[in-house]
Amino acid sequence: MKTSTKLSATLTAALLTAGLSSTNAMAQVTENTLQKHEGVYVGGNYGYLKVDGQDDFDDDNDVWQGLVGYRFNRYVAIEGSYIDFGDYGTNIANADTDGYTAAVKGMLPISENFALFVKGGQLWWESDYAINEFGGSYDDESLFIGAGVNYAITRNLSVNAEYTMYDADLDADELSENIDDTDFDTDLKQASLGIEYRF
């Protein structure tokens, strides 16, 4: 009876030790998961801009973006940015557009290093434009949506690839009273690579 009790106690102790070791190992894996990190981050994107518009506003261009965000957990973040769409158009009609964004970002970790993300929000933009001999400045608000993939190099440093579409309408009827029946619908499509540092 005593032998049985000792054996049972030994087995119980062994199981408890194994369980604690397993729990500690799992906690360490969770702690070291590169995609699980809360807090502030900063970053920048540089890439290719496709301006899909009517008439002379069709163009391709470079785009750059500086951003700051806050991750509440491994799934949800908020993000703001300044973005420069550069100059696009021709000698007849051209524009220089930049703006600020605010977005909600949803993330889905698929491994220790990789995570998919989607984001959507608001763009506040301003364009300096010139159409024939007329020119000026025009500002508006537009919605945007984007998606991409993030790769964590370390716990603090990661890179990402992203594709974003902005519904920015540049309406020449509103730009100048001297132009009639001209509507430039300029959807901006951005494909970019970026870097992100998490504090």
Which pLDDT tens digit goes with each residue over 56-104?
555 677 899 999 999 999 899 999 999 998 877 766 777 788 899 999 9
Taken in order 70, 72, 78, 79, the sign of the CA dihedral is: positive
Helical (H) or strand (E) element with 17: helix 2-32
Taken in order 80, 84, 89, 92, the sign of the CA dihedral is: positive
Give yes or no for residue 42 having a pLDDT over 50: yes
CB 33 within 8 A of CB 112: yes
List, for residues 105-156, the tens digit of each pLDDT value: 999 999 889 999 999 999 999 888 777 767 777 788 889 999 999 999 998 9
Give me the mean pLDDT over the 22-39 stretch. Answer: 54
State the pTM of this model. 0.71
